[in-house]
Structure 1
Amino acid sequence: MAKIDREDIQIVCNHSNWSEVGVRKTLEGQIYSGVVSWQRFLKFLLLALGVSFTAAGILFFFAYNWAELHKFVKLGIIEALIALLILIAVFAKTKPLIKKVLILAASILVGVLYAVFGQVYQTGADAYDFFLGWTLFITIWVLFFNFAALWALFVALLNVTFILYAEQLAYEWSELFLFCLLFGMNSLLLLGFILIPKIFKMTPFPIWFIQLVALTAIAFSTIGISSGIFEKPEPSFWALFIMASIFYGVGIWYGLKTKSLFYLSIIPFSVIIILSAALLNLSGEAGMLFAIGIFIVTSITLLIKMLLNYQKKWAS
């Protein structure tokens, strides 16, 4: 078996003379989390909580004492904190994970520094300038330390920058063109995060990060295509539709190849939403709404049944 679960152990116990000691050892070794697992979990949890509370404390400090602080004090405190975090991460003899978390905290403080600078001197810059500068000035840290959480922040900043740029400057961009651009960008990022570690023999990115980027790309395609159905078709809609079709086909193939239920669930769910929007575009009468409800319930039921069958097949 690829993996032993509680049901397997129960079946063996009911049909054999397996001793209680043997069952206990198997449960402790295969099912229950041991001391090492709990220590690792607590270490990461406390480290994440410490960084989060520290960053929150700094933000609340500025929020409460904003009016009383001199502008040089405001900027100086943040710059000193960033410098301190970088120095500790580079020169301190500590674990690589702690160094990466410190860099993540420094990257967040870079955004705080830009926000404070803009408010102190009233630069009048557009919001996208703020996120663009934030993104550019942490790029070196992102590439050098190659930390999944830092990459997640970087990807989020990229998406926010493009969205704000489209709202504030690129007035000629349609909403569908923006969704097409965001979907294409996140799809390329996802492809890079999957292939680059394999090509250069690097440590692969965590599964949660890969799935987060994939979910972001699918969300943009789903929203874009669903909203474009209700409007007059334009080239951006068909470009998004074609790219999404290719992406979905490759995603299903990749999910079957890697035995990942994530891709086999999120992609069909996106298709169900798009098809529901297409049916709603045909008619908004009560009969069509009833038919759409039946379609959603039936399709999701079949999807769950399919996923359960694959899960049993891959677990055997």
Structure 2
Amino acid sequence: MAKIDREDIHIICDHSNWSEPCVRKMLEEHSYNDVSSWQRFLKLLLLALGVSFTAAGVIFFFAYNWADLHKFVKLGLIEFLIVSLILTAVFVKTKPLIKKMLLLAASLMVGALNAVFGQVYQTGADAYDFFLGWTLFVTIWVLFSNFAALWILFVTLLNLSLFFYAEQVAHEWSELFLFCLLFAMNVLLLMGFILIPKPLKMAPFPSWFIQVVALAAVTISTIGLSTGIFDSPEPSFLVLFLMTMLFYGVGIWYGLKTRSLFYISIIPFSVIIILCAALLDFSNEASMLFAIGIFIVTSITLLIKILLNYQKKWAN
């Protein structure tokens, strides 16, 4: 076997005369997390919570004391925090992970600085201006740090900038056209995160980060197609449908190639939701609702069976 998991050990134990100390040793080596793994997990968890709570504390401080603070104090405090975080990350000798977390905290403070600046001087900027400026100001840090958490912030800001631009400026854009743009942008970002590290000889992005971006793309396509089914036909729906089918086909192929159950599960689940929306649009009578219920139960059961078969096949 390429990898022994807990279930394999239990099966061998039930059909052999394995002694209890040997079983315990195998579980500790192949199944249980050791002390160092838990220590590393706790360090990362506490570090992430510390950065998050510090950023939230700064934001709540300004929200609570807003009326009592002078405008130069408001701007000066946040600028001092940003400069201190950047200087610490650049000049203090510490672990690379801590430096990247400091950059993440500074990136969050940039958003707070933009919000405070807009409130103090009443710039009248639309929401998309706020998120777009935030995105541009942290781009250099995101590129040079190549930190997955910072990339998550960057991708989120890109999506929010495009969404609010369509909502507040591009009134001629239809809802489906916006879904097409969001879906295309997230798919291109996903392809870049998967393909670019190898030719540039960079460390590959962690699997959880790739899966988060893929989940965002699948969610956008699912909502867009499910919404477009109930609306009047337009060219954007056909474009989104074709892009989705192409992306889903490549996603299934990539999941089989990399032996990842994640892609083989979220894509069929998305297809099930879209088909349910199509059936509901065809008829909303009680008989159709009953048929949709049977379809959901049957399809989900079949999908779980397929996933279990692939898991058993790849595990052995």
- 1:59-89, CA deviations, whole angstroms, 9 ceiling, x for partnerless residues? 1211111111000000000000000000000
Is 1:295 the counterpart of 2:302? The answer is no
Q: Is 1:219 matched with 2:180?
A: no
- Matched position secondary structure for 2:241: helix
Q: Displacement, 1:19? A: 3.0
Question: 2:10 & 2:220 partners in 1: Cα distance?
Answer: 44
**Structure 2 match to 1:145:** 145
- 1:171 is aligned to 171
Instruction: Give the equivalent residue in structure 1 for 2:112.
Output: 112
CA distance, structure 2, for counterparts of residue 30 and residue 231 of structure 1:
53
One-letter amino acid of the counterpart of residue 198, structure 1: K
Flag structure 1 segments of 5+ consecutive residues without an equivalent.
Answer: none
1:297, 1:11 → 2: CA distance? Answer: 31
Q: CA deviation at 1:255?
A: 0.5
Distance in 1 of aligned mates of 2:69 and 2:6:
59
Please report how far the alpha carbon of residue 109 of structure 1 lies from its aligned counterpart in structure 2 after TM superposition.
0.4
Aligned to 1:307: 307
CA distance in 1, matches of 2:213, 2:66: 36
TM-score (norm 1): 0.98
Q: What per-residue deviation string (whole Å, max 9, x for no partner) do you get for residues 108-143 of structure 1?
A: 000000000000111111110000000000000000
Computed over aligned residues only, the root mean square deviation of the Cα atoms, in angstroms, reads 0.9
Match of 2:65 in 1: 65
The CA distance in 2 between the partners of 1:57 and 1:190, in whole Å, is 33
How far 1:201 moved relative to its partner? Answer: 2.0
Counterpart of 1:25 in 2: which secondary structure? helix
More displaced, 149-158 or 20-29? 20-29
Deviations 1:199-254 (A, max 9, x none): 22211111111011001111111111111111221111111000000000000000
The equivalent of 1:23 in structure 2 is 23
Shift of 1:147: 0.2
In the TM superposition, 1:25-104 aligns within 5 A as 25-104=25-104
CA distance in 2, matches of 1:234, 1:49: 46
Q: Percent identity?
A: 78
| CA deviation string 1:260-292 (max 9, x = no partner) | 111001000110111111111111111111111
Measured in 2, the distance between the counterparts of 1:142 and 1:233 equals 40
Q: For this pair of structures, how many residues does the alignment match? A: 316
Distance 1:5 1:165 in 2: 49
Distance 1:12 1:303 in 2: 28
* 1:252 aligns to 2:252 (yes or no): yes
Distance in 1, matches of 2:7 and 2:215, equals: 31
Relative to structure 2, which stretch is displaced further, 294-303 or 51-60? 51-60
Q: 105-114 or 30-39, which moves further after superposition?
A: 30-39
Larger CA deviation: 17-26 vs 162-171:
17-26
2:210 aligned partner, one-letter code: I
Q: Which residue of 2 aligns with 1:202?
A: 202
Distance 1:16 1:263 in 2: 37
